[in-house]
Structures are given as structure tokens and as C-alpha cells.
Amino acid sequence: MECRHFADQTCGSCPLLGFPYGAQLARKDAAVRAALGDLASAEVWFPPVASPQSDFRNKAKMVVSGTAANPVLGLPFGVSLTDCPLYLPPIRAAFPAILDFIRLADLQPYDLTPALTKTSQKTAAHRGELKNVIVTCSPSNDLMIQFVLRSRATEARIRSKLPNLQEQLPNLRVVSLNIHPEHKAVVQGGVEIVLSDETALPFHISDELTLYVGPQSFFQTNTYIASRLYAQATSWLSEVRPSTIWDLYCGIGGFAMAVARPGRQITGVEISGDAISNANKARDALVKNIPNLDLTFRSEDATLFANTHSISSPNTGLPDAVIVNPPRRGLGTDLVQWLNKSGIPTILYSSCNPTTLAKDISELPNYQIVKAQLFDMFPNTTHSEVLTLLTRR
């Protein structure tokens, strides 16, 4: 894959782009094996799952710079990435209409560049309203656009001009305003105002499974690899045939619904109420295709949920298997210790951080890795997604 931004060093997001893809994949596979070390013997490793090298990212988080009359989408300080070859083609095709909309609605970019000798950085950071534009594309090429704003000052103007954007982008399904008043590195704030009739974007993962991705939802940025990840999880669990499963950190319910079967009881747990709302929406659609599913989602903290189930008394409703897919920081000591003492036969652990994965598994001495595999969710980078299956010793 060729990229002018890599060639001229204006973007450093793909540090491995200069290596042939086969060499990238081998390097990553060796790195994740080294991270897990003696925790995973050579015999347990499956071959890595390769990704397309371009046209795979389903989400673009673009910093808005420049001016309302001449906006720029990409990196801070005027670096445009609208031609980035990683994004799915419908995302790249939407950028001209989005730029036109910024001009039409007169949305002044959030200014991080103080005028020389005239404006302090602190003062400059409080000029302008539009911080980021986040564009998400579904497998059916429908779009969701979030405008991340410093305040609601331009909300009425955006609402009045929105039909123009919807006319230019007939595949635009969800539009929202995210209000992020603080000057922080995190991209989104806590207040979401949905302007469209639809509140979540359908992601058709398979003939039977459709997930719903809302403005505040987490979903893997590589839909192709995510579907392969779900398929492998389903295959591995089918070999141990659990009748009850907990999916902790379930998000919008991807793993839970991928492994759902009649006669199998599944409980998904996620602290985000918005994610659980979308998981329930997907569950209701799935039940229409596969009757008699026993699938429940709960908006709770995963560790607190686990601790409500005693591991010292019989018949406390512990499952046959647990799926965990935590944030990069890992599971945390409390949940790891609970799992280690639980006696649950099987743990399926999906991780985007091999370092915290290795730390957590090293603190599960009652379990052993029996299967492990790298999924190249983030080609051209050093980041990895690793799926492991652990059984009780």
C-alpha cells in the first residue's frame, strides 16, 4: 500500500507501512508470543489472521482545523487526511460533503494555534466550536456522523442546515452532536444529542447477526477482522460446549450474540447504559431469526456483578464459561482474583493489549492457555488483538 502521508512523514499512524505485509504479520506474531512467553506454549498458537491493508477502517476520527471558510479534516494544525487509504471508500467519499456543510453552517474550528505574540495558548484553546468530526461506516455502506463541539452554541444552526448534508449524503443514517467543553486529549464528551430519526447504525455481521452501533458505542474499527474474531470465538466455545456463559465487558453484545444458541443461557454485562440499550435492540432482532434464545443484558460493572456470585457456596449460578473483552488496561486485580478462585471451567479472553493480557493470565495460576491466536485488527501498526482460550488446570 502506498500513502503520501507516510512518504512525506506528515502522519505517523502507520509506522510499519514500510515493511512488506508478510513481514509485518510475522513481526507481530513473534511479539505477542514473546509477550505471553511461557504462559502459552508453541503448540497452542494458531496462525495469525491477516487483514486487508487498505480500505478497512470503519471509523475516521478527524480533527477539524483551519477556518469555517476553509476547514481541514485530519490531524491538528492543518494536515488533511481525507485521502487516507485506510478508510472505507464511503467514508472518503463523504468528506467533501462534510467540508461543504462546515462552510454552510459556519462552524468555526476549535483553535489551538495562538496568534504569534498576541494570544496565549490557553486563550486560543477557547476560540471556535467544532473540535472533531467522527464518521462511521457500516458493512452496508451507511454512515453515522458525529460533530464534536465545545458547546451547544451552534446547535440551532446545525439543525437548520442539516437537510443539506442529508441531501448530499443519502446513505447518512445517524447524525449527532457531542458536547465536549473541556480541553482534554480524549476525543468525546459525555453529552450526546442525536439529531436524526435513527439513533444507531446497523452493522450486518452475518445473515443472522446485526449489531447496532450508536454514537457512544465501542466497536472494532476493522469489521472484517471483528467478524473473524467472533467466528473463532464461536468455534472454540463449540468444542467445550458450555450451556451457560457470561460475557463481561460485553459492549454492544458482539461476542454474546455471536455465540448464542438455543439451549444456551447467556448473560452480557456492560457498565454503559447506551451500549446495553443497543445490545437489547440487536438481541430483539436476533430472536426473530433464532427463536428460543436465552440472552440477557445487564448494565452493571463487571467486577461488581461477578462479586455478587459467591464462589464458596454451591448453586450460586456460576457459568460454564466466561468471555472477557476488557479495555486496554485489562481486567483489574479484583476480577482476576475472583476468576482464579471461581472454579469456572473455561475463560475466553480477547485483548487489544498483549502486555496487560500477559499480566492478567500470569495472575490466573489455576488456568492454562490451550488456544491462542493473533488477529491483525490494526495493520501497519504495532497494535495487536489476541484471542486466548483458557481451561481450568
pLDDT in tens, 210-235: 999 999 999 999 999 999 999 999 99
Residues 306 and 368 in one domain: yes
**Does residue 217 sit within a domain?**
no
Last residue of a domain, one of 139, 166, 199: 199
The predicted model scores a pTM of: 0.92
Q: In whole numbers, what is the pLDDT of the chain averaged over residues?
A: 93
Length of the chain, please? 393
- Boundary of a domain, candidates 199, 234, 269: 199
What's the pLDDT band for 377 if we cut at 50, 70, 90? very high
What CATH number does the domain containing 87 carry?
2.40.50.1070
* Same domain assignment for residues 33 and 89: no
Q: Where are the beta strands (DSSP E) in 5-114?
A: 59-66, 71-75, 79-80
Say how many domains are in the chain. 2
| 299-347 per-position pLDDT tens digit | 999 999 999 887 665 556 899 999 999 999 999 999 999 999 999 999 9
Domain span including residue 95: 59-199
Q: Does residue 68 share a domain with residue 11?
A: no
Q: d(Cα 178, Cα 175) in Å, to the nearest integer?
A: 10
Q: What is the mean pLDDT of residues 260-281?
A: 95
* Beta-carbon contacts of residue 353 (< 8 Å; ≥ 6 apart): 328, 329, 330
In a domain, 211, yes or no: no
State whether 179 and 72 are in the same domain: yes
Model pLDDT, residue 116 = 47
Q: What pairs with residue 385 in β-bridges?
A: 375
CA nearest neighbour of 84 among 12, 185, 170: 12
Domain match, 64 and 180 both? yes
Q: How far is CA 8 from the centre of its chain?
A: 29
What pLDDT score was predicted for residue 316?
Answer: 66
Identify whether residues 48 and 158 lie together within a single domain.
Answer: no
26 and 167 part of one domain: no
The CA–CA distances, whole Å, from 116 to 113, 168, 201, 283 equal 9, 38, 43, 55
Query: Is the domain of 294 the same as that of 349?
Result: yes
Cβ neighbours of residue 386 closer than 8 Å, sequence gap 6 or more: 32, 36, 350, 351, 354, 357, 372, 373, 374, 375
Do 86 and 45 share a domain, yes or no?
no
Is 204 inside a domain boundary?
no
In this structure, are 63 and 39 located in the same domain? no
My answer on whether 36 and 112 are in the same domain is: no
The predicted model gives 37-54 an average pLDDT of: 96
pLDDT beyond 60 at 113: no
**Is 166 contained in some domain?**
yes
Are 44 and 71 within one domain? Answer: no
Which listed residue (14, 84, 250, 352) is catalytic?
A: 352
Exposed / middle / buried, residue 115 (Cβ in 10 Å: 0-12, 13-18, 19+): exposed
Asked whether residue 175 is domain-assigned, the answer is yes
CATH number at residue 320: 3.40.50.150
SS3 assignment, position 304 = helix
Is 14 an annotated catalytic residue? no
13 close to 3: Cβ distance less than 8 angstroms: no
Could you tell me if residue 77 is left (phi over 0), alpha (psi between -120 and 50 degrees) or otherwise beta?
A: left
Q: Quick: pLDDT tens for 345-354.
A: 999 999 999 9
Per residue, what are the HEC states of 154-202? CHHHHHHHHHHHHHHCCCEEEEEEEECCCCCCCCCCCEEEECCCCCCEE
Write out the H or E segment, with its range, that includes residue 367.
strand 367-375
Higher pLDDT, 125 or 37: 37
DSSP string, 311-351: SSSSSS---SEEEE---TT-S-HHHHHHHHHH--SEEEEEE
Q: What value does the mean pLDDT take over residues 66-75?
A: 94
